[in-house]
Amino acid sequence: MMKPAGSRSVTTRWILLAGGGLLLFQLKMASAPGSAQDPGVRPGDADAGNSVAGLTPMQAEYFAAGLDDFNESESVAEGLGPRMNLDSCGGCHSQPAAGGSSPAVNPQFAFATQDGGRDQVPPFIQQNGPVREARFINNSDGTLDGGVHALFTISGRPGAAGCSLTQPDFAGEVA
């Protein structure tokens, strides 16, 4: 079947990371006719982290309170855990400002053992790489999973006395 001139097509790519079926990502990419070109860095100031224009004073107050909460690091006493990917939303979404994407230095790398944490850095987390989460293709019983699995636990951290949770064996899943 021929596509009309100028139409877009959608390509689905499945990417398997860490071998052995540990992580599976599905990317859907729309492509226009011709070759794509990176437009480069956008000029001007970044707009990430700002509220939308036209908020009422009450809405602006709610936005400011939400932004503070977004950037606040949580502790076990404040409700962190028992499993998590980091201790704040803003830690993962800080570039170029709050609400953006991964920072240049991945905070998950240091978080594994921060404040007495006893977790290992999974093999797909790099100090100068993007913040990541894990999704498993299958559960341990072989049924389909696909859900997000937290990388770290509260074990060893202040306020988690007696907690002996173990993180998933990411390295053991690699073939």
Averaged over successive runs of 10 residues, the pLDDT of the chain (175 residues) comes to 47 48 48 64 69 93 95 94 94 89 92 94 92 86 88 94 87 49
What pLDDT was estimated at residue 118?
92
Tell me the C-alpha to C-alpha distance, in Å, between residue 13 and each of 5, 22, 27. 24, 16, 5
Taken in order 72, 76, 77, 78, the sign of the CA dihedral is: positive
Contacts 24+ apart (CB under 8 A), 160-168: 160/76, 160/81, 160/82, 163/82, 165/82, 165/83, 167/83, 167/119, 167/120, 168/134, 168/136
Please answer whether residues 91 and 73 qualify as being in contact, where contact means their C-beta atoms are separated by less than 8 angstroms.
yes
Q: List the one residue out of 58, 55, 90 whose CA is nearest residue 71.
A: 90
Phi/psi of residue 159, each to 5°? 90, -5
**pTM metric for this prediction:** 0.66
What pLDDT was estimated at residue 81?
86
State in Å, rounded, how far the first CA of the chain is from the last one: 41
b/e per residue, 85-109, with b = 16+ CB within 10 A? bbbbbbbbbbbeebbbebbeebbbb
Q: List the one residue out of 171, 84, 68, 172 whose CA is nearest residue 133.
A: 84
What pLDDT was estimated at residue 40?
66
Beta bridge partners of 101: 95
